[in-house]
Protein backbone atom coordinates (compact mmCIF):
# COMPACT_ATOMS: atom_id res chain seq x y z
CA UNK A 1 0.00 0.00 0.00
CA UNK A 2 2.77 2.47 0.95
CA UNK A 3 4.86 1.54 -2.06
CA UNK A 4 1.87 2.03 -4.36
CA UNK A 5 1.21 5.50 -2.83
CA UNK A 6 4.85 6.58 -3.27
CA UNK A 7 4.91 5.40 -6.90
CA UNK A 8 1.66 7.26 -7.65
CA UNK A 9 2.90 10.57 -6.22
CA UNK A 10 6.29 10.09 -7.89
CA UNK A 11 4.61 9.55 -11.27
CA UNK A 12 2.51 12.71 -10.82
CA UNK A 13 5.56 14.82 -9.96
CA UNK A 14 7.54 13.45 -12.93
CA UNK A 15 4.61 14.08 -15.29
CA UNK A 16 4.23 17.67 -14.04
CA UNK A 17 7.96 18.36 -14.42
CA UNK A 18 7.94 16.94 -17.95
CA UNK A 19 4.92 19.04 -18.92
CA UNK A 20 6.61 22.20 -17.64
CA UNK A 21 9.88 21.37 -19.40
CA UNK A 22 8.28 20.72 -22.80
CA UNK A 23 6.01 23.77 -22.59
CA UNK A 24 8.99 26.15 -22.29
CA UNK A 25 10.12 27.97 -25.46
CA UNK A 26 13.21 26.62 -27.16
CA UNK A 27 16.41 28.22 -25.92
CA UNK A 28 18.92 29.41 -28.57
CA UNK A 29 22.01 27.26 -29.06
CA UNK A 30 24.59 29.59 -27.54
CA UNK A 31 24.53 31.96 -24.57
CA UNK A 32 25.09 35.14 -26.64
CA UNK A 33 21.97 34.48 -28.73
CA UNK A 34 20.07 33.79 -25.51
CA UNK A 35 21.14 37.09 -23.96
CA UNK A 36 20.19 39.01 -27.13
CA UNK A 37 16.83 37.25 -27.45
CA UNK A 38 15.66 38.09 -23.93
CA UNK A 39 13.53 41.19 -23.62
CA UNK A 40 15.51 43.84 -21.78
CA UNK A 41 13.79 46.82 -20.15
CA UNK A 42 14.69 50.13 -21.76
CA UNK A 43 14.12 52.30 -18.70
CA UNK A 44 17.82 52.83 -17.94
CA UNK A 45 19.28 52.92 -21.45
CA UNK A 46 19.01 55.33 -24.29
CA UNK A 47 16.92 54.08 -27.23
CA UNK A 48 18.59 51.50 -29.45
CA UNK A 49 18.93 52.04 -33.20
CA UNK A 50 15.63 50.30 -33.99
CA UNK A 51 13.91 52.35 -31.25
CA UNK A 52 15.03 55.53 -33.05
CA UNK A 53 12.68 54.59 -35.90
CA UNK A 54 9.83 53.67 -33.57
CA UNK A 55 10.30 56.77 -31.41
CA UNK A 56 11.47 59.54 -33.78
CA UNK A 57 13.37 62.54 -32.38
CA UNK A 58 11.45 65.77 -31.82
CA UNK A 59 12.03 68.85 -33.99
CA UNK A 60 10.82 72.47 -33.86
CA UNK A 61 7.28 72.55 -35.19
CA UNK A 62 6.33 69.26 -33.53
CA UNK A 63 3.70 69.16 -30.83
CA UNK A 64 4.58 68.85 -27.15
CA UNK A 65 4.05 65.29 -25.89
CA UNK A 66 2.12 66.54 -22.85
CA UNK A 67 0.07 69.64 -23.76
CA UNK A 68 0.07 69.12 -27.58
CA UNK A 69 1.00 72.75 -28.30
CA UNK A 70 3.28 73.45 -31.28
CA UNK A 71 6.88 73.96 -30.09
CA UNK A 72 9.38 76.50 -31.42
CA UNK A 73 13.16 76.13 -31.29
CA UNK A 74 13.38 78.50 -28.31
CA UNK A 75 10.26 77.17 -26.60
CA UNK A 76 11.27 73.51 -26.36
CA UNK A 77 13.63 71.48 -24.21
CA UNK A 78 15.15 68.41 -25.88
CA UNK A 79 15.74 65.52 -23.47
CA UNK A 80 18.57 62.97 -23.62
CA UNK A 81 16.41 60.46 -25.50
CA UNK A 82 15.83 62.97 -28.32
CA UNK A 83 12.22 63.81 -27.53
CA UNK A 84 11.20 67.30 -26.54
CA UNK A 85 8.68 69.02 -24.32
CA UNK A 86 7.68 72.65 -24.21
CA UNK A 87 9.49 74.56 -21.46
CA UNK A 88 6.45 74.67 -19.14
CA UNK A 89 5.74 70.92 -19.41
CA UNK A 90 9.45 70.13 -19.03
CA UNK A 91 9.59 72.06 -15.75
CA UNK A 92 6.51 70.23 -14.47
CA UNK A 93 7.58 66.75 -15.65
CA UNK A 94 11.06 66.93 -14.15
CA UNK A 95 9.48 67.43 -10.71
CA UNK A 96 6.95 64.60 -11.09
CA UNK A 97 8.80 61.76 -12.87
CA UNK A 98 12.20 60.59 -14.08
CA UNK A 99 11.27 59.16 -17.50
CA UNK A 100 10.31 60.53 -20.89
CA UNK A 101 6.51 60.45 -21.25
CA UNK A 102 6.86 58.99 -24.77
CA UNK A 103 9.54 56.27 -24.65
CA UNK A 104 9.94 55.86 -20.85
CA UNK A 105 13.73 56.20 -20.97
CA UNK A 106 15.22 57.75 -17.82
CA UNK A 107 16.00 61.35 -18.76
CA UNK A 108 15.70 63.25 -15.49
CA UNK A 109 17.98 62.77 -12.51
CA UNK A 110 16.53 61.74 -9.20
CA UNK A 111 16.96 65.13 -7.52
CA UNK A 112 13.41 65.98 -6.48
CA UNK A 113 11.69 68.52 -4.27
CA UNK A 114 12.37 67.56 -0.66
CA UNK A 115 15.78 65.99 -1.36
CA UNK A 116 18.73 67.36 0.58
CA UNK A 117 21.06 69.88 -1.04
CA UNK A 118 24.55 68.34 -1.28
CA UNK A 119 26.16 71.64 -0.27
CA UNK A 120 24.26 72.55 2.91
CA UNK A 121 22.41 69.22 3.57
CA UNK A 122 19.08 71.04 4.03
CA UNK A 123 15.89 69.93 2.21
CA UNK A 124 15.15 71.76 -1.05
CA UNK A 125 11.82 73.37 -1.88
CA UNK A 126 10.51 74.02 -5.39
CA UNK A 127 11.06 77.77 -5.14
CA UNK A 128 14.55 77.50 -3.57
CA UNK A 129 16.17 74.95 -5.91
CA UNK A 130 17.94 75.43 -9.24
CA UNK A 131 18.62 72.64 -11.73
CA UNK A 132 21.98 72.47 -13.48
CA UNK A 133 22.57 71.24 -17.04
CA UNK A 134 23.16 67.70 -15.77
CA UNK A 135 19.69 67.65 -14.11
CA UNK A 136 21.04 67.69 -10.55
CA UNK A 137 19.70 70.45 -8.32
CA UNK A 138 21.09 72.64 -5.54
CA UNK A 139 19.67 75.50 -3.51
CA UNK A 140 19.90 78.67 -5.60
CA UNK A 141 22.01 80.37 -2.91
CA UNK A 142 24.30 77.33 -2.56
CA UNK A 143 24.82 77.16 -6.33
CA UNK A 144 25.70 80.87 -6.45
CA UNK A 145 28.21 80.47 -3.61
CA UNK A 146 29.60 77.32 -5.21
CA UNK A 147 30.26 79.20 -8.47
CA UNK A 148 31.64 82.25 -6.64
CA UNK A 149 34.28 80.01 -5.05
CA UNK A 150 35.48 79.00 -8.52
CA UNK A 151 33.91 75.58 -8.93
CA UNK A 152 32.93 74.85 -12.54
CA UNK A 153 31.51 71.30 -12.32
CA UNK A 154 28.56 69.60 -10.63
CA UNK A 155 29.45 68.39 -7.11
CA UNK A 156 27.60 65.10 -7.76
CA UNK A 157 28.58 64.00 -11.27
CA UNK A 158 31.43 66.40 -12.19
CA UNK A 159 29.81 67.50 -15.48
CA UNK A 160 30.43 71.15 -16.48
CA UNK A 161 28.01 73.68 -14.99
CA UNK A 162 27.69 75.81 -18.14
CA UNK A 163 26.47 79.41 -18.15
CA UNK A 164 23.12 79.00 -16.28
Domain ranges of the chain: 37-108, 109-164
Q: How far apart are CA 68 and CA 150, in angstroms?
A: 41
> Model confidence over 81-98: pLDDT tens digits?
888 889 998 888 877 777
Q: Which pLDDT value is given to residue 110? A: 64
Identical topology for domains 37-108 and 109-164: yes
> Model confidence over 144-161: pLDDT tens digits?
999 999 888 888 888 888
Who contacts 57 (Cβ-Cβ below 8 Å, separation ≥6)? 78, 82, 83
Question: Of 3.30.40.10, 3.20.20.190, 1.10.1380.10, 1.10.10.10, which CATH number belongs to 37-108?
Answer: 3.30.40.10
Q: How far apart are CA 29 and CA 19, in angstroms?
A: 22
Q: Which pLDDT value is given to residue 120? A: 92
Topology given in CATH for the domain delimited by 109-164:
Herpes Virus-1 (3.30.40)
Amino acid sequence: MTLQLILTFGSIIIAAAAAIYWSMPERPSNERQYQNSRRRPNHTNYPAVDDQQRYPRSNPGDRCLVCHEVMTANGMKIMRCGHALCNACYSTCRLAQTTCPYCYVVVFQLTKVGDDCVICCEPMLKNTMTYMNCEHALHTACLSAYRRHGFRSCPLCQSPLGQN
